[in-house]
């Protein structure tokens, strides 16, 4: 959500995202994307180069190039803006210091009261968009407890790499005891590991300080959660009473990870997902039936609103997965397009749709295997004017390099020369890689006796363009185009 960033940071983030997507971009393109002037864009690029150790921009003739390294990715640039944005910093300070007052914020950030009021106004709008609210000074978060939790769980995962960055050793030790209460559950669909579960529990505890009116609530013995720790240790570690309200929140989280959904609206969405799976299995001639309902139940029960702040990583995962695995036959592509679009429409919420698709692709290995097995490889004929062994050596090398997208087949030069219609012999191939300069077909890639690295890169770019074009004209429309208002 870019309104959490200043105008300058919004433009810089747009610039950095554009470089990650394209690697090479003109200043005119950046001007169109950001609405900033050329001089301002140059200033922003220079500032990012100087203030980071992972974003290297090189100026070319009329373009800028991103020199990639192993730390240049989306998560890195979003973490950079978490450090730079005063709005995001203030959200975290209020979260960890409930009932902090304006004068303390003014002193901490070295800003004026009017600037603090502007920040408060912005943060109130952000909170409202996520379904909760921010009080006036002294500041605390109010409203739906689960929605506030979901926001700060996303915050912690986007900003920090490690638990130790935000959870103290003493807190971590007690969280190890708390997690034991969940060890008998199949943790799937958003809480696949101990790291994620610890963060959920930690955020629940920290947020309770914003609701002191709940911390005196007594236990309901009928709902008491089976916790294996000392209440005294808990209160000394987190400086908060372990109330009946907190016990109820933990009990509810446990039930979400254990129970089957019964809410009619969620049951309808679950039915649509199961139908989607069964249809895909039938399309791929798979005799199996979908029987892992827990993945769907947990994902539906835990989703309470937008599951990201800046980093739409699960959406990117789904899009990239299908972009790299989109070489289907025309008939199968059209059917997949219809089924994906139908599911998006039935879910009616893209945040939840991508959350579900991510969980299902990760946990349902049968589906991912079927998608990969039904990729339709591009056929590339290898035709050189030397003996067959020469072509076979090169074909063997390329088949090992392009295992997912291309299938290389040697064309015997002597048979090709003796064929009554030599061009007809090549018609069944998507591409021909050859040393014959006399072939005039558009799908021919002419190289030396043995292709150079540059030739291989050209072939790779050609394949990417071919697959990307098919993806953008097919499955991508089902995944990202506006959902039709008419019922499918």
pLDDT at 266: 93
Query: With contact defined as beta carbons under 8 Å apart, do 434 and 451 qualify?
Result: no
pLDDT band, residue 282 (cuts 50/70/90): very high
Domain ranges of the chain: 2-71, 83-256, 264-374, 378-451
More confident residue, 337 or 468: 337
pLDDT greater than 70 at residue 306: yes
Q: What pLDDT is recorded for position 221?
A: 57
The Cα-based distances of 439 to 18, 302, 445 in angstroms read: 39, 59, 9
What is the percentage of the chain residues whose pLDDT exceeds 70? Answer: 93
Q: What is the mean pLDDT of residues 291-306?
A: 82
Q: At residue 379, does pLDDT exceed 90?
A: no
Predicted TM-score of the model (pTM): 0.84
pLDDT for position 415: 81
Mean pLDDT over residues 156-185, rounded?
88
What gap in Å lies between CA 152 and CA 135, rounded to an integer?
A: 17
pLDDT of residue 222: 47
Evaluate if residue 111 carries a pLDDT over 80: yes
**Is the dihedral angle over the CA atoms 476, 78, 102, 115 positive or is it negative?**
negative
- pLDDT over threshold 50, residue 299: yes
SS (H, E, C) the chain: CHHHCCHHHHHHHHHHHHHHHHCEEEHHHHHHHHCCCHHHHHHHHHHHHHHCCCCEEEECCCEEEEECCCCCCHHHHHHHHHHHCHHHHHHHHHHHCCCECHHHHHHHHCCCHHHHHHHHHHHHHHHHHCCEEECCCCECEEECHHHHHHHHHHHHHHHCCCHHHCCCHHHHHHHHHHHHHHCCCCCCCCCCCHHHHHHHHHHHHHHHCCCHHHCCCCCCHHHCCCCCCCHHHHHHHHCCCCCHHHHHHHHHHHHHCCCCCCCHHHHHHHHHHHHHHHHHHHHCCCCCCCCCHHHHHHHHHHCCCCCCCCCCHHHHHHHHHHHHCCCCCHHHHHHHHHHHHHHHHHHCCHHHHHHHHHHHHHHCHHHHHHHHHCCCCEEEEEECCCCHHHHHHHHHHHHHHCCCCEEEEECCHHHHHHCCCCCHHHCCCCEEEECCCCCCCCCEEECCCCCCHHHHHHHHHHHHHHHHHHHHHCHHHHHHCCCCCCCC
Beta-bridged to residue 141, according to DSSP, are 134
- Please give the pLDDT value at position 273: 93
Top mean pLDDT of 152-166, 420-434, 438-452 is at 152-166
Q: What pLDDT is stored for residue 488 in this prediction? A: 44
pLDDT in tens, 214-234: 877 776 654 555 666 788 888
Span 400-420, mean pLDDT? 80
* Domain 378-451 coded CATH 3.90.660: no
Structure confidence at residue 436 (pLDDT): 87
More confident residue, 176 or 105: 105
pLDDT computed for residue 191 by the predictor: 53
Give the tens place of pLDDT for each residue, 390-409: 888 888 888 887 766 788 99
pLDDT value, residue 134: 96
Confidence at residue 407, expressed as pLDDT on a 0 to 100 scale? 86
Label residues 473-486 b or e (16+ Cβ within 10 Å = b).
ebbbebbeeebeee
Nearest to 248 by CA among 263, 228, 227, 267: 227
Task: Quote the pLDDT of residue 172.
Answer: 93
State the average pLDDT over residues 157-181: 90
Tell which wins on pLDDT, 280 or 426: 280
Across the range 131-160, mean pLDDT stands at: 94
**Is pLDDT at 70 greater than 70 in this prediction?**
no
CA distance 461 to 352: 34
Q: At what angle do helices 453-473 and 313-324 cross, to 10 degrees?
A: 110
Parallel, antiparallel, or unpaired for β 431-434 and 406-410?
A: unpaired
Reported as a pLDDT band with limits 50, 70 and 90, residue 457 is confident
Q: In terms of CATH architecture, what is 2-71?
A: Orthogonal Bundle (1.10)
For the ranges 96-105, 108-117, 429-438, the lowest mean pLDDT is seen at: 429-438
């Amino acid at each position: 959500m870019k309104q959490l960033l200043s105008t300058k940071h919004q433009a810089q983030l747009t610039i950095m995202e554009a470089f990650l997507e394209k690697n090479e971009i003109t200043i005119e393109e950046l001007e169109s994307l950001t609405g900033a002037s050329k001089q301002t864009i140059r200033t922003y690029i220079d500032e990012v180069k100087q203030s980071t150790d992972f974003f290297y921009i090189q100026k070319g003739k009329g373009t800028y190039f991103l020199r990639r390294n192993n730390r240049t990715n989306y998560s890195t640039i979003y973490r950079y803006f978490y450090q730079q944005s005063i709005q995001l910093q203030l959200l975290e300070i209020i979260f960890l210091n409930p009932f902090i007052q304006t004068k303390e914020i003014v002193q901490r950030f070295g800003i004026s009261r009017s600037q603090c009021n502007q920040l408060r106004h912005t943060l109130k709008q952000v909170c409202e968009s996520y379904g909760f609210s921010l009080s006036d000074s002294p500041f605390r978060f109010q409203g739906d407890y689960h929605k506030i939790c979901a926001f700060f769980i996303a915050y912690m995962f986007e900003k920090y790499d490690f638990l130790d960055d935000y959870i103290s050793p003493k807190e971590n030790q007690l969280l190890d005891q708390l997690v034991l209460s969940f060890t008998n559950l199949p943790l799937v669909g958003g809480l696949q590991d101990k790291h994620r579960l610890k963060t959920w529990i930690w955020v629940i505890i920290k947020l309770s300080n914003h609701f002191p009116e709940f911390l005196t609530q007594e236990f309901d013995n009928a709902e008491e959660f089976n916790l294996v720790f000392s209440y005294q240790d808990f209160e000394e570690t987190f400086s908060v009473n372990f109330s009946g309200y907190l016990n109820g929140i933990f009990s509810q989280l446990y039930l979400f990870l254990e129970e089957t959904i019964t809410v009619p609206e969620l049951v309808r969405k679950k039915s649509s997902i199961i139908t989607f799976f069964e249809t895909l299995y039938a399309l791929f001639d798979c005799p199996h039936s979908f029987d892992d309902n827990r993945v769907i139940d947990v994902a539906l029960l835990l989703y309470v609103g937008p599951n990201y702040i800046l980093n739409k990583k699960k959406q990117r995962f789904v899009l990239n997965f299908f972009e790299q695995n989109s070489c289907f036959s025309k008939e199968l592509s059209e059917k997949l397009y219809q089924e994906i679009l139908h599911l998006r429409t039935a879910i009616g919420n893209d945040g939840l749709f991508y959350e579900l698709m991510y969980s299902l692709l990760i946990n349902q290995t049968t589906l991912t295997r079927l998608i990969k097995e039904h990729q339709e490889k591009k056929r590339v004929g290898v035709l050189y004017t030397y003996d067959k062994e020469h072509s076979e050596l090169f074909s063997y090398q390329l088949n090992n390099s392009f295992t997912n997208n291309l299938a290389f087949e040697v064309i015997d030069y002597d048979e090709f020369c003796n064929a009554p219609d030599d061009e007809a012999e090549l018609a069944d191939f998507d591409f021909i890689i050859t040393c014959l300069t006399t072939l005039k077909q558009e799908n021919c890639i002419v190289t030396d006796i043995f292709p150079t690295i540059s030739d291989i890169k050209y072939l790779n770019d050609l394949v990417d363009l071919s697959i990307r074009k098919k993806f953008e004209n097919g499955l991508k429309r089902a995944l990202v185009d506006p959902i039709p208002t008419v019922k499918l």
